[in-house]
Amino acid sequence: MADEATKPAETADKKAQPQVKLDMSQLKSSYCNVANVTSTREEVVLNFGINQNWDLGQKAMDVELLHRVILSPFAAKRLSGMLTKLLQEYESRYGALT
């Protein structure tokens, strides 16, 4: 009986969540092989760019930063969780990243 009492609440919660529709009409993709993060109390800043120096023996790297994404700490925490889950799934399929 306890299960029956909780079912309507669970169904109501699922119905209350809005459906998210993604508009990808303006979406642009680009390749980045460098990421940098910084933060303040109010925001987390993600910088993405390209390192075009493929010689590992160089003393300096020229990195062209192309994109900056600024998130609230709450959004950054959600992103961190999603990336953690994604990488766990990736490693279970393809092996551990080193």
Q: What is the pLDDT of residue 55?
A: 74
15 vs 37: CA distance, rounded Å: 37
Cβ neighbours of 49 (radius 10 Å)? 18
Q: What is the pLDDT of residue 97?
A: 95
CA dihedral defined by 56, 91, 49, 26, rounded to 10 degrees? Answer: 150
Q: What is the pLDDT of residue 24?
A: 96
pLDDT digits (tens, 9 = 90+) for 44-64: 999 999 998 877 777 888 899
The pTM for the full model equals: 0.72
Provide the token pair at 50: 């390209």
41 vs 36: CA distance, rounded Å: 17
